[in-house]
Amino acid sequence: MISETNIMKGAMKILRNERNRCQSCGMPLFYDKKPKVHPHYCSYCHDGSSFRDGKATLRDMQKKVDELLVARNANRGQRLYMRLRLATLKRWRESRAYVPKTF
Ligand SMILES: [Zn+2]
């Protein structure tokens, strides 16, 4: 049986991950195995002074993340969520958000 405490713990974990996502690729910073190079970005996206793929667009990042999710057997809902979530991240927020008409 799932207790209310466990539900709360699960919800808190989701909120913590949401707060601590890399503001470029959306990966929870918790999963970044390398030393933290930037307070808002993971080591795959940022080397501490600049973005590793400085010319990438939001659309490029959405494609890259979606490929990773497909490789991990993520379901359609998870893929759509991340696609939309990426547009809300700091790196992309000011750029014109690309929201797909179809998925
Ligand atoms: Zn990242």
Chain segment 62-80, per-residue pLDDT in tens: 999 999 999 999 999 999 9
Distances, alpha carbon 78 to alpha carbons 5, 75, 97, in Å:
25, 5, 19
CA of 3 from ligand 1 middle (Å) equals 34
| pLDDT of amino acid 16 | 81
Is 103 part of a structural domain of the chain?
no
Is 98 part of a structural domain of the chain?
no
Give Cα 53 distance to the centre of its chain.
16
Is 102 part of a structural domain of the chain?
no
Is 19 part of a structural domain of the chain?
yes
Q: In a 3-state reduction of DSSP, which class is residue 44? A: coil
CA of 25 from ligand 1 middle (Å) equals 4
Is 85 part of a structural domain of the chain?
yes
CA of 14 from ligand 1 middle (Å) equals 18
What is the domain extent for residue 89? 4-93
CA of 33 from ligand 1 middle (Å) equals 12
Q: pTM for the complete prediction?
A: 0.76
Answer yes or no: are the C-beta atoms of 40 and 90 closer than 8 Å. yes
Q: Report how many domains make up the chain.
A: 1
Amino acid type, 71: A
CA of 52 from ligand 1 middle (Å) equals 10
CA of 100 from ligand 1 middle (Å) equals 21
Is 38 part of a structural domain of the chain?
yes
Is 100 part of a structural domain of the chain?
no
CA of 2 from ligand 1 middle (Å) equals 33
Expressed in angstroms, the distance from the first to the final Cα of the chain is 36
Mean pLDDT rounded to a whole number for the chain: 87
